């Protein structure tokens, strides 16, 4: 004859409570990790050929290398390549609304080099960049403005006025500012393609090393978007 097991009410309550605690603990640890996996901080690199990866495979372009750098540092991000070769600030402004359909939570602006190379009027460049920043901020999207520097052959007056556009706009809109996108790469032949304008793969890695700490400062404020 098999003896029957009698559960006392107190023991049964303890057993049920213990199992509920275990289940809740598993849920609390699993749900955030699932949300983390599904909702990265989406970063849009809004720029021209310098950030688009002109002359390079996609996996060596700035957005992809930046994404991997941030992932290696345990940041949950998705970096979108919003660079278009040949873009001026005028053409970039015209496509901004369409680009915002990517629903970024954070945008890195890298624009103005083509305006400078074509000798476009500085007031026009500043007006366009001003409108771009305004539109982005109106959507409550984080901004990192990266600066550009004019080539010496553009003339001292033009270069001074062009170079001053970026810090002035960063101050006006109170946005984080990275003074020169090509810092550490410009004028260094071994870090550029044969045209000595666009970074090569090694040059892109150098840019990423230098800019990553500035991106990391902003990431905690980035709200994941669906």
Out of 14, 33, 49, 91, the active site residue is 49
Out of 51, 75, 87, 198, the active site residue is 198
Distance CA 143, CA 86 (A): 22
Catalytic annotation on 85?
Answer: no
Distance CA 152, CA 87 (A): 21
> What are the two backbone dihedrals, phi and then psi, of residue 190, each rounded to the nearest 5 degrees?
-75, -10
Out of 72, 97, 157, 195, the active site residue is 195
Catalytic annotation on 48?
Answer: no
HEC string of 148-184?
CCCCHHHCHHHHHHHHHHHHHHHHHHCCCEECCCCCC
How many C-beta atoms lie closer than 10 Å to residue 164's C-beta? 13
Catalytic annotation on 49?
Answer: yes
Q: Which residues are part of the catalytic machinery?
A: 49, 195, 198
């Amino acid at each position: 004859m098999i003896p029957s097991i009698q559960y006392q009410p107190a023991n049964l309550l303890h057993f049920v409570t213990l199992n509920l605690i275990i289940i809740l603990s598993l849920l609390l640890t699993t749900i955030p990790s699932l949300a983390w996996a599904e909702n990265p901080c989406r970063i849009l690199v809004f720029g021209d050929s310098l950030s688009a990866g002109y002359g390079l495979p996609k996996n060596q372009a700035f957005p992809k290398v930046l994404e991997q750098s941030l992932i290696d540092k345990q940041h949950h991000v998705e970096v979108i390549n919003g660079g278009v070769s040949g873009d001026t600030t005028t053409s970039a402004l015209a496509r901004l609304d369409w680009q915002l359909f990517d629903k970024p939570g954070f945008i890195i602006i890298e624009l103005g080099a083509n305006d400078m190379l074509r000798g476009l009027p500085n007031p026009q460049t500043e007006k366009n960049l001003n409108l771009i920043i305004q539109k982005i901020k109106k959507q409550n999207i984080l901004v990192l403005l990266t600066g550009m520097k004019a080539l010496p052959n553009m003339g001292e007056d033009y270069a001074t006025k062009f170079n001053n556009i970026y810090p002035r706009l960063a101050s006006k809109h109170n946005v984080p500012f990275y003074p020169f996108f090509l810092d550490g790469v410009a004028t260094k032949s071994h870090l550029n393609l044969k045209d000595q304008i666009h970074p090569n793969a090694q040059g892109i890695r150098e840019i990423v090393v230098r800019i990553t700490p500035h991106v990391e400062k902003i990431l905690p404020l980035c709200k994941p978007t669906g």
